[in-house]
Amino acid sequence: MTKKIAEKSRLVNLLPDPLPAVPGADAAGAAAAAAAPALPDEGGAPRKAYTGVGQMMGVLGRSSPLGKELAEVKARLRDYEGSVPLKLLDARRIVRSRLANRHESEFDSADFARLRAEIEHAGVNVQPVKVRPLQPPRDGAEYELVFGHRRHRACLELGVPVLAMIEEVGDKQLWLTMDRENRERRNLSPWEQGQSIQRALQAGLFSSIRRLADESGMDHSNAAKALRLAELPAAVVAAFSSPADIQLHWARPLSEALQKDPEGVLARAKAIAERSAGLRAPKAVLDELLHGAPAEARGHADKRHLKKDGKTVAVLTRKPGGVLAVEIRAPVDMADVEAALKKLLRL
């Protein structure tokens, strides 16, 4: 009703204010016109209402219960400006982003298992993922992940809906948002970060790695090292138990070794992968890739003594084939040892 009155008021115009002097005009009427309530114009400055209905609406808006209620509603709506609505989606309707930066081994980790258990207990992912509409839809999917690949994968495995924010974003914004989200929650491994940088550059999202580092807030030197890791041959990466084991500061020595003796490094990498299919110590793999033989074969057994108050409480020995022997020389609880080993081995 208020809207209709406001619309009709535009058609009812009184004479301009101030009114021209008319002989015999009622002085009280002129005084009432001069006292008409001032309304704000578009710039915020007060202006005079030149219609009778407009004057009435001004008073109504300021003093009536309806006017106060409208003001409260507008104030509440301002709190939601720019917000993105949440929606429960079928996990099967969402596809992994082509710029995704999580390695498949991440979904076999203990951290992912804990996340999956939390979502199973709650019945839904408490922290929403973000998706963008797929244009056009493909293979039955209507959305592409922006971030939240681990949460989406957990919901997909559990067969529960995914709580998601839906927003239209471009490829560059998708990459920046995904990168920021990962660093705020669970950092990528250096190799995964390098893969992500490589995909962004190959897609032409940034003109250079320096530009990428500047816009993402990443250290340029670290970004360059991570990119070096992403450029390692697949055989070298496969020599490690997981790409996540490769450290950022190993980028330079590995790159230099490949430049000096590419055939030798690749041959050693393949031999390591074939010889020890199980868990391999990252430092031992690096050592063999760089120097051509395990430390034990060169007469340098990798043995470390852990001490407390000057006394050795445990000895760690690296044996041939990458086997690690742990000798504990202090009273410990077996359950604590088992729990620590399970965490270390991601069981």
Locate all alpha helices (DSSP H) within 92-219, ordered by sequence.
Answer: 110-122, 149-158, 171-184, 190-202, 209-216
Question: Is 213 within 8 Å of 174 (Cβ atoms)?
Answer: no
Return the bridge partners of 340, or none.
none
Question: Using one digit for the tens of pLDDT, what is the confidence trace for 213-225?
Answer: 999 999 999 999 9
21-31 per-residue burial string, b: 16 or more CB within 10 A, e: under 16: eeeeeeeeeee
Look up the pTM and report it. 0.54
Instruction: Catalogue all structural domains in the chain, each as residue range(s) with its CATH number.
Output: 2-79 (no CATH), 86-232 (3.90.1530.10), 302-344 (no CATH)
Structure tokens at 307: 């001490």
What mean pLDDT is reported for the chain? 77
- Residue 254's pLDDT band, with cuts at 50, 70 and 90, is very high
pLDDT for 86-105, tens place per residue?
899 999 999 988 887 676 76
Q: Is the dihedral of CA 274, 280, 286, 292 positive or negative?
A: negative
Per the CB < 8 A criterion, the answer to whether 93 and 131 are in contact is no
State the pLDDT at residue 107. 76
Biggest CA–CA distance in the chain, Å, is: 121
Rg (CA), the chain: 34
**Which position has the higher pLDDT, 177 or 108?**
177
Q: Rounded distance, CA 227 to CA 199, Å?
A: 10
**pLDDT given for residue 331 in this prediction:** 84
65-73's contacts with Cβ under 8 Å and 24+ in sequence apart are 66/2, 70/2
What does the pLDDT read at residue 321? Answer: 56
What's the one-letter identity of residue 113?
Answer: A
Torsion of CA 328, 331, 335, 337, to 10 degrees: -20
Which residues fall within 8 angstroms of residue 31, CB to CB, at 6 or more apart?
Answer: none
Q: What per-residue confidence (pLDDT) applies to 13?
A: 44
